[in-house]
Structure 1
Amino acid sequence: MPARSPLSLAALASAAVNGLEPMRTQTVDANADDVDTALIEDNLSRHWVVRAPRNDVASMRLDAESELVSRLRSWLPFGLPEAEGVAALPNGSRALVHRKLPGRPIRPLELLHRSALAVSYGEAIAAIHNLPTRLVEEAGLPIYTAEEYRFRRLAELDRVAATGLTPVRLLTRWEHAVEEVGAWRFVPCVVHGDLAGDNVLAEGEAVTGVMEWSETRVADPADDLAWLSIGATEPVLPVAFKAYLEARGEAVDVDLRRRARLSGEFAIARWLLHGVHTDDAGIVDDAVQMLADLEAGVGDQPW
């Protein structure tokens, strides 16, 4: 279906929350292209986010996220996109409305000059990973053992290789990584699954909110450290990782940083698969260039 207009999203927000009278509306880019999202300012100067799914898949994803967030709210030290109202849609699904979380997205280079923020970022990830796994299970989201997750990576690698668009040296690097069984003996934990982009918000030196919980699962903790491993410069890594490990209180996983780097590299491969699946030449071209840049950067280095 076509994208909804800002006015129609504002009307949904008004229907969802009692007393919400929209004054200003701004469409914002959603992480997923099957969800319409807008920022609403009401007559009381409150700011809201309304999200409306375009299809059944997106609807199920948003509902699962809403169920999970309702379970997590008392466990985490930062804000979550907890729905304060819902509005029925013609196809039987529903739009969700939540308060705009305080803060702005963290950028990798910020962490280089703000060690306190790097510490807060590491501690925020640890808080997610320390959550009881039953919260994810009760919300009906995926649960993986370490071995199941390694096989998931192998299957993903096969799909990437089948495109014929990935440099051979990268495929070889990834094959060696996934076949090194000893490096995949991790303890599965709650994983957010999408801590890149605009999903982690901060104010001052502290993380204030985490968005987009639809990819949450019990899996490899390295996935949530991928953005840090790929996007941040080396001086940041020891600070954030030290804060993360201290807050986790778990036995040291000696292969964690290696798998985090691998997960970051795989994110580019998944972007390629998305472009191929949606037959979007622009995404495919972008991913191919990113893979070429990655190959130039890692060369023949072992993973």
Structure 2
Amino acid sequence: MLAALASAAVPGLQPTQVRRADAADGVGEDVDAAVVTDAAGRSWVVRVPADPAAGTHLEREAVLLRRLVALDAGTLPFVVPEPAGSAAVRGGGRALVHRSLPGHPLDVGDLRPGPGLSRSLGTALGRLHELPPTIADEAGLPSYTADEHRERRLVELDRAASTGQVPPGLLSRWEKATEDVGRWRFSPCLVHGDLAPERVLAEGGAVTAVVEWGEARVGDPADDLAWLAVGADADALDTVLEAYAVSRDEQPDRHLPVRAQLAGEVALARWLLHGVRTDDADVVDDAVQMLRDLDADVGGEAL
């Protein structure tokens, strides 16, 4: 079915092989996806939204991607999926098709201090955050001021607290960091909004592509560094941040690393809330265990 949709979306595409796509192909969990090889030997990714919300994100993403592709050559030091076509899906929504992109999902363990992948990643993020926020406006993406972003974080913490599953020490740590207004004075910029290793493709010691833009918005640049703040080696993270600062016209605010660490930790609470919302006991149990492990690691220390 997905191969047929790819053929309908891209004139002249004649599928010869198809396989189910997975995280290694830079595909998220909110879509049904396949990798299709055509008669000319070209590889394509076709994505179909799993639900109406995912459909909305996919349509917004398509508009944003077309604007990113239209940027002057060299503006971004990586490529993004270029929509080649779309096709209506029975039951609503549209399938989106793009060529497969170069590289493999980044392994955070491969990040090392100094020249190479860490520096390339910092430069990539810095150049992304230098894009004009008007791109997001043109694509109909959400936009939040610094104050609005902080308020959204507080609401998120309240929801997590209401589950009764977040260790009190962690809640206190997060609330103090969020209530400290001085740490939330930043200039909002266009952010990917959902960066993780499987969404950043790399090859030959450099970032080659960034995929899955459905959560893009104007907001806190720290959100795009959260996965690194909690997962990368400290020295490698320093290299990323140094390259990032060099790539920005406006120097990053000094509280950026703290907000990135906070965002990375709060992602566990978001996972818990997802499990509660979907009534998935396995997800809830997984999130609760990770929260307990984090609580033991930080030992009640303040951010």
2:58 pairs, out of 57, 62, 74, with 62
Q: Which residue of 2 aligns with 1:13?
A: 6
- Greater shift, 134-143 or 70-79, is seen at 70-79
Q: Which residue of 2 aligns with 1:137?
A: 137
Q: Which residue of 2 aligns with 1:4?
A: none
Between the two proteins, the alignment pairs up a number of residues equal to 296
Please say if 1:246 is aligned against 2:246. Answer: yes
Kindly, what percent of the aligned residue pairs are identical?
A: 55
| CA displacement 1:116-150 (0-9 Å, x = unmatched) | 11001001111110010000011111111101110
The answer as to whether partners of 1:115 and 1:236 remain within 8 angstroms in 2 is no
| CA displacement 1:172-206 (0-9 Å, x = unmatched) | 00010011110001111111111113100011021
**Counterpart of 1:101 in structure 2: which amino acid?**
L
1:28 pairs, out of 12, 21, 29, with 21
Please say if 1:51 is aligned against 2:47. Answer: yes
SS at match of 1:112: coil
SS at match of 1:287: helix
SS at match of 1:67: helix
| CA displacement 1:83-106 (0-9 Å, x = unmatched) | 101112223421110001100011
Q: Which residue of 1 aligns with 2:234?
A: 234
- Greater shift, 45-54 or 257-266, is seen at 45-54
Q: How does 1:115-194 map to 2 (within 5 A)?
A: 115-194=115-194
Q: What is the TM-score with the length of structure 2 in the denominator?
A: 0.94
| CA displacement 1:269-291 (0-9 Å, x = unmatched) | 10111000000011111111111
The answer as to whether partners of 2:113 and 2:235 remain within 8 angstroms in 1 is no
Distance change in 2, residues 1:248/1:127 (3 Å) = same
- Tell me the distance in 1 between the aligned counterparts of 2:237 and 2:147: 27
- Tell me the distance in 2 between the aligned counterparts of 1:134 and 1:203: 31
Once the two structures are TM-superposed, the CA of residue 15 in structure 1 deviates from its matched residue by 1.3
Once the two structures are TM-superposed, the CA of residue 114 in structure 1 deviates from its matched residue by 7.2
Q: How does 1:272-291 map to 2 (within 5 A)?
A: 272-291=272-291
The answer as to whether partners of 1:17 and 1:97 remain within 8 angstroms in 2 is yes
SS at match of 1:198: helix
How much is the aligned-residue C-alpha RMSD, in angstroms? Answer: 1.4
- Tell me the distance in 1 between the aligned counterparts of 2:84 and 2:114: 34
Q: What is the TM-score with the length of structure 1 in the denominator?
A: 0.94
Q: Which residue of 1 aligns with 2:78?
A: 78
Q: How does 1:92-111 map to 2 (within 5 A)?
A: 92-111=92-111
**Counterpart of 1:48 in structure 2: which amino acid?**
W
**Counterpart of 1:186 in structure 2: which amino acid?**
F
